[in-house]
Homo-oligomer: A and B are copies of this chain.
């Protein structure tokens, strides 16, 4: 049997909220992509081989603003490729890939590479070394070159049905999320010790007054992603803080405030 996307087949339908979702603000695609870019130091480069075929290869990178800084050898095929044709893209996978790989988060950054010079070369070198300390042992060998990928196109995929593109300008202006990469412990604490508060949030702020249980799946600078159990089935919703956070140290106060507001409801 062939199914069309949009035809749920035998899948259960997802219950819709029956109350207001007070603040559903979430990171933009540009912010999500910038956060993934900042989350690691390894990627896969797509470059063009001499015959025009696409060549996928493992690379390390740092970030100059949001632009990846690669350090590759011209003894390697990808180094020769970049020197001959600067069109390139990299794919980065966010840490902690789930068991279902396509439920994970990943990005593609595409554009044109350039050899940095002068002040940009010094900055690019520092950016690469900051992200890849082991590069100190080979970065100054003459066969290695630094390349800055000037990002023109950004694609972010946050799992099934969560994906979007961002412009070069949006991406360049975006700041990595200060909460996402360090929130795992806080999320465990919320779920283990404050399930009642999460339930109140889901009922009063998240649009599910009939929720019987709620758990936190992610925290970012704007709010919490909640998984909500209702008699109508399982849903996901969003509760946003009063103000965006500028650091992880503000998460506790923000969740206390969410709890207070949901109990006034």
Contacts and interface: CB of A to CB of B under 8 A. Distances in A.
Contacts of A253: none
Contacts of A57: 91, 106, 108, 155
Nearest to A41: B101
Contact of A56 (B46, B49, B53, B132): B46
A88 interface: yes
A45 B57 CA distance: 9
Interface residues of A, number: 50
B89 A58 contact: no
Nearest to A143: B5
Given A55-B54, A87-B54, A140-B2, A132 B101 contact: yes
> Binding site of A, secondary structure by majority: helix, strand, loop or mixed?
strand
Contacts of A14: none
Given A1-B140, A3-B142, A134 B56 contact: no
A243 interface: no
Given A5-B141, A5-B143, A56 B42 contact: no
Given A5-B73, A56-B110, A58-B104, 20 more contacts: A2-B140, A2-B141, A2-B142, A4-B143, A5-B141, A42-B93, A44-B44, A46-B54, A47-B54, A53-B88, A53-B110, A54-B55, A56-B91, A57-B106, A57-B108, A57-B155, A60-B101, A77-B108, A101-B132, A101-B134
